[in-house]
Amino acid sequence: MTFAKLSRRLAFGLALAVSTSALAGLPALADTKIKMVLNWKYQGPQGMFFLAQDRGYFKAEGLDVSFDQGNGSGAAVPLVANGTYDMGFGDINALIELVAKKPEDAPIAVYVMFNQPPFTIAVKADSPIKTPKDLEGKTLGGAANDGALKLFPAFCKFAKIDCSTVKITNMQPNLREQMLMQGQVDGVFGYVNTIRFSAKLIGLDDDKLRYISFGDYGMDLYSNGIIVSSELVKKNPDAIKGFLRALNKGLIDTLKDPDAAVAAVAKREPLIKIPLERERLDATLRAEMNHPEIAKIGLGNVDPARLKTAIDILVEANNLPSTPKVDQIFTPAFLPPVADLPKTLF
């Protein structure tokens, strides 16, 4: 071997060693960060999100997901629309209203989890209010971003009552049940299981409350779903697909082991009452997520005809300026295969 060849070989080896060393010093590619706002404070029904996180399902999809507590299902929608969050667990009906008014760059739902209408007005069991008509002339209270409160004008039209005679008082969510029982308001807006279990936390049993539920008067609406920003849809659709695959696994694990799901919530909020939150999770699965349609289309998906009817209900009842198309509100494009979606919850 000539000296020139030996020199070239040594030089090549040195360069290779230097480049390998330099690459080894570089940080690994960072996971895609996703910031998500939930519908409410940390409670049992949110366990599937945290179970997916704790078991590494988001990480396996290359995602670094952070969750913030919410302040009402309706509030999550504008927070995603204005870019504060990439995703939200928010009310589909609030999304319909937003799209009807400001369709440009609006978020879109990609996985609908609550497929039965949970919206209700709770009154004391001994209240003279027994039908929607009895609400006229009364005072009702609710958090400003409460989904049921936002739907009240539509409910008034369906139940044929005069909304203008009803006084609405806004209140902090944590004061809702106390104000009702103290007689400061005649009824309160909310999701039926949210009210029921918040009441239990202050020592009120089910027999102390009665409910006027919107679904009993023809408002067959969807409720909470995963809502994503238009920016994320445009820039990183694979991240959305990965998120839903991971969440779907967390949901399946929750169905198999609900105690583990509630334990995952307790890791974030140690002050929760675990037995009560387990009961709340079971009630939510049965009453808000268990529509018969999932046997065919799977949990997370929607029936387009049913969603179109829901859109029409809201547009007409709330005199919205335009009628959104179904594909402006929900897209199945990011869902896991239908075969992988839960078809039964029990």
DSSP letter, residue 132: G
230 and 248, same domain (yes or no): yes
37 and 141, same domain (yes or no): no
> Is residue 12 in a domain?
no
> Is residue 155 in a domain?
yes
**Structure pTM?**
0.86
Give φ, ψ of 222 to 5 degrees: -75, 170
> Is residue 21 in a domain?
no
Which among 152, 187, 217 is the end of a domain? 217
Per-residue confidence (pLDDT) for residue 281, from 0 to 100: 97
Per-residue confidence (pLDDT) for residue 202, from 0 to 100: 92
Q: Confidence class of residue 246 from pLDDT cuts 50, 70 and 90?
A: very high
108 and 226, same domain (yes or no): yes
User: 219 and 149 in contact (C-beta within 8 Å)?
Assistant: no
| Residue (of 281, 286, 277) closest to 344 by Cα position | 286
209 and 233, same domain (yes or no): no
259 and 281, same domain (yes or no): yes
Residue 113 CA to residue 222 CA, distance in Å, equals 9
> Is residue 27 in a domain?
no
53 and 123, same domain (yes or no): no
| Residue (of 41, 24, 217, 192) closest to 122 by Cα position | 192
Structure-model confidence comparison of residues 6 and 136, the more confident one? 136
Q: Quote the domain boundaries for residue 180.
A: 119-217
At residue 140, does pLDDT exceed 80? yes
> Is residue 231 in a domain?
yes
239 and 111, same domain (yes or no): yes
| Residue (of 301, 296, 303) closest to 334 by Cα position | 301
> Is residue 205 in a domain?
yes
Q: Confidence class of residue 147 from pLDDT cuts 50, 70 and 90?
A: confident
Q: Which residues pair with 121 in a beta bridge?
A: 189, 212
201 and 335, same domain (yes or no): no
228 and 332, same domain (yes or no): yes
Q: Confidence class of residue 146 from pLDDT cuts 50, 70 and 90?
A: confident
42-67 average pLDDT score: 98
For the chain, percent of residues with pLDDT exceeding 70: 92
pLDDT tens sequence across 172-203: 988 999 999 999 999 999 999 999 999 999 99
Q: Which residues pair with 156 in a beta bridge?
A: none
Per-residue confidence (pLDDT) for residue 341, from 0 to 100: 98
- Where would I find the H helices in the chain? 3-24, 47-54, 57-60, 73-81, 92-101, 147-150, 152-159, 176-181, 192-201, 230-235, 237-256, 258-268, 274-288, 294-297, 304-317, 326-329
330 and 241, same domain (yes or no): yes
Residue 269 CA to residue 31 CA, distance in Å, equals 26
Residue 100 CA to residue 217 CA, distance in Å, equals 24
CATH of the domain at 226: 3.40.190.10
Which among 197, 217, 237 is the end of a domain? 217
Across all residues in the chain, what is the average pLDDT? Answer: 92
Per-residue confidence (pLDDT) for residue 29, from 0 to 100: 59
